[in-house]
A and B are shown apart, each in its own frame.
Chain A
């Protein structure tokens, strides 16, 4: 089987989410990559070095600069003339583009797979991760999004794939990019961080969240996350949200501070290797999944912890 993998990037560097998707694709067959962007040859060169990649298709055109689904989907649908499966990371970019590709190909997409069980058989979480479905596709071609935390990352180096330029249909004339407010942070990215410190509603407000969570995260070199309650209350921006409808993370260590542990939050972090919870309510559901729990008032415990590390 020949697979085509969407390379997630910002026109300058390749995003980690791509590497787990390459691993999922390699379980199906030969791996080809698609780098669609503008002035993104450096990304294609980096992609060509990913271990196990057979070929890199490079579509370098202003129409592909911002990953607009209206422009990217027809390009991918064309390339699917000689590929059997399209896989994209289940990021907001992948989730935006892949179903549009699937509909153009008249294929039912398989969303957010967590394992490859056979050529056409996959598992995926449903009901916010409260159940796991094993599904088999009957379509001739496959369109799949891949949950990054469920697959090992392919090695970023060791390969030497050829880069082939592809033209693609260009601008569909339906949509345009206006602007972005992308948070700049010195801290690691949530979805690839080894350690995450997350805060919940108990942090009270934005300044308090900043005062208690950030120093602990900085001490540990950790990324900062938050529960939906903390995001909805405006303590931190939406891109901090960990949970069913936010980001799915699986770091080595997840430290939940003042988070009760609603199902929707657990769905986003329960695959973390070690979960540590600090909460003053000893009956909080978070303790049912935590490897290490500390029943304490976070306003005393967190500064003490930060000080002693």
Chain B
């Protein structure tokens, strides 16, 4: 079985985003960029399935600017076998990403596609579900456990009330939640080896997908700022405050 793992280059998890003064977006100039954390979990899960003998090949794919190549090299250094870069400088919305991924799935015929549940830049949480719809295949979203059982996959999902397990006919789409695994760090020898692994360059046009956005961003602004309040001296003062508020 082959596993396809889409990865996105996003602002690093530890960087606090700054809104541009002209309201046109978030300032990404000279900001550290990394692989979307949920996608790292997806790469790790694919590698574990390969190590367990459930998969033979892992193909990483990224849709984005030339620099997304670095993100793909990270996936290759972690353990993916080859990579596809669908290069574009335009911002590509989840629906168009899903259409490009569908075209790649049609070519590559993976048994599983594992994606992060959301990217930490646009926080959309859509691509996996959309890809599953376009392919007419089942989806196991927000996964905290993935078990292959013959020609189906059992996915335990993190839902609002706790956990839920579904059984999906393969090929299937899985999106990762935080507790699925802890991604490994790529070792130096593996980073060197990753430079020699195959990386294909494509464009959205190669897949016949139109990426013009459907949503127009009119404005990006700072969220309302919460002012720090008061500090109380001791528990008695806190109790008094709570009583004032009618809480106690």
Q: Does A1 contact B (CB under 8 A)?
A: no
Q: Does A133 contact B (CB under 8 A)?
A: yes
Determine if B216 and A294 form an interchain contact, defined as CB atoms under 8 angstroms apart: no
- The interface-forming segment of A35-43, A89-97, A203-211 is A89-97
B159 CB to closest chain A CB (Å) equals: 4
Q: Which residue of A lies closest to B125 (CB)?
A: A95
Interface of B (DSSP majority class): mixed
Determine if B126 and A294 form an interchain contact, defined as CB atoms under 8 angstroms apart: no
- Asked whether A69 and B95 contact (CB < 8 A) given A95-B125, A135-B215, A292-B241, the answer is no
Determine if B138 and A174 form an interchain contact, defined as CB atoms under 8 angstroms apart: yes
Determine if B235 and A182 form an interchain contact, defined as CB atoms under 8 angstroms apart: no
- Which parts of B116-161 form the interface with A (CB within 8 Å)? 117-118, 120-134, 136-139, 141-142, 144, 154, 157-161
The 0/1 profile, CB within 8 Å of B marked 1, for residues 12-50 of chain A is: 000000000000000000000000000000000000000
Q: Does B209 contact A (CB under 8 A)?
A: no
* Cross-interface CB contact of A308 among B133, B177, B235, B245, cutoff 8 Å: B235
Q: Which residue of A lies closest to B228 (CB)?
A: A288
Return chain A residues, CB-CB under 8 Å to B237.
Answer: 294
Determine if B230 and A131 form an interchain contact, defined as CB atoms under 8 angstroms apart: no
Return chain A residues, CB-CB under 8 Å to B133.
Answer: 73, 99-104
- Asked whether A177 and B232 contact (CB < 8 A) given A228-B178, A238-B158, the answer is no
Return chain B residues, CB-CB under 8 Å to A282.
Answer: 231
The 0/1 profile, CB within 8 Å of B marked 1, for residues 224-237 of chain A is: 00001001100001
* Cross-interface CB contact of B141 among A95, A111, A129, A138, cutoff 8 Å: A95
Total A-B contacts with CB atoms under 8 angstroms apart: 251
- Which parts of A152-196 form the interface with B (CB within 8 Å)? 173-183, 191, 195
- Asked whether A102 and B95 contact (CB < 8 A) given A92-B157, A239-B160, the answer is yes
Determine if B160 and A191 form an interchain contact, defined as CB atoms under 8 angstroms apart: yes
The 0/1 profile, CB within 8 Å of A marked 1, for residues 6-43 of chain B is: 00000100001101000000100000000000000000
Determine if B159 and A128 form an interchain contact, defined as CB atoms under 8 angstroms apart: no
Determine if B93 and A132 form an interchain contact, defined as CB atoms under 8 angstroms apart: no
B246 CB to closest chain A CB (Å) equals: 9
Q: Does A70 contact B (CB under 8 A)?
A: yes
Q: Does B214 contact A (CB under 8 A)?
A: yes
Alpha-carbon distance between A244 and B117 when the two chains are bound, in angstroms = 12
Alpha-carbon distance between A183 and B163 when the two chains are bound, in angstroms = 9
- The interface-forming segment of B48-56, B69-77, B165-173, B197-205 is B165-173
Determine if A263 and B223 form an interchain contact, defined as CB atoms under 8 angstroms apart: no
Alpha-carbon distance between A195 and B37 when the two chains are bound, in angstroms = 31
Q: Which residue of B lies closest to A301 (CB)?
A: B235
Q: Which residue of A lies closest to B23 (CB)?
A: A134
Q: Which residue of A lies closest to B10 (CB)?
A: A127
Determine if A176 and B167 form an interchain contact, defined as CB atoms under 8 angstroms apart: yes
Return chain B residues, CB-CB under 8 Å to A100.
Answer: 129-130, 132-133, 139
* Cross-interface CB contact of A127 among B123, B139, B238, cutoff 8 Å: B123
Alpha-carbon distance between A70 and B77 when the two chains are bound, in angstroms = 35
Determine if A274 and B245 form an interchain contact, defined as CB atoms under 8 angstroms apart: yes
Residues of chain B at interface, number, CB under 8 A: 78
Determine if A135 and B238 form an interchain contact, defined as CB atoms under 8 angstroms apart: no
Q: Which residue of B lies closest to A288 (CB)?
A: B228
Q: Does B217 contact A (CB under 8 A)?
A: yes
- Asked whether A291 and B161 contact (CB < 8 A) given A127-B120, A135-B218, A176-B167, the answer is no
Q: Does B179 contact A (CB under 8 A)?
A: yes
* Cross-interface CB contact of A92 among B120, B137, B142, B154, cutoff 8 Å: B142
Return chain A residues, CB-CB under 8 Å to B241.
Answer: 276, 292
Alpha-carbon distance between A98 and B26 when the two chains are bound, in angstroms = 27
Alpha-carbon distance between A290 and B178 when the two chains are bound, in angstroms = 27
Determine if B141 and A134 form an interchain contact, defined as CB atoms under 8 angstroms apart: no
A223 CB to closest chain B CB (Å) equals: 13
* Cross-interface CB contact of A91 among B98, B160, B168, B178, cutoff 8 Å: B160
Q: Does B196 contact A (CB under 8 A)?
A: no
Determine if A308 and B139 form an interchain contact, defined as CB atoms under 8 angstroms apart: no
Q: Does A296 contact B (CB under 8 A)?
A: yes
- Which parts of A238-277 form the interface with B (CB within 8 Å)? 238-239, 244-245, 247, 252-253, 263, 270, 274-276
The 0/1 profile, CB within 8 Å of A marked 1, for residues 212-238 of chain B is: 011111111111001011111011111
Q: List 21 A-B contacts (CB under 8 A).
A: A69-B129, A99-B133, A108-B93, A108-B214, A109-B95, A127-B121, A130-B16, A131-B17, A131-B19, A131-B221, A133-B219, A134-B218, A134-B221, A174-B137, A174-B138, A174-B169, A178-B167, A183-B162, A245-B178, A282-B231, A305-B238
Residues of B at the A interface (CB closer than 8 Å) are 11, 16-17, 19, 26, 93-95, 98, 117-118, 120-134, 136-139, 141-142, 144, 154, 157-169, 177-179, 213-223, 226, 228-232, 234-239, 241-242, 245, 247-248
Known: A125-B123, A294-B231. 6 other contacts (CB 8 A): A126-B26, A130-B16, A132-B223, A138-B214, A180-B165, A296-B235
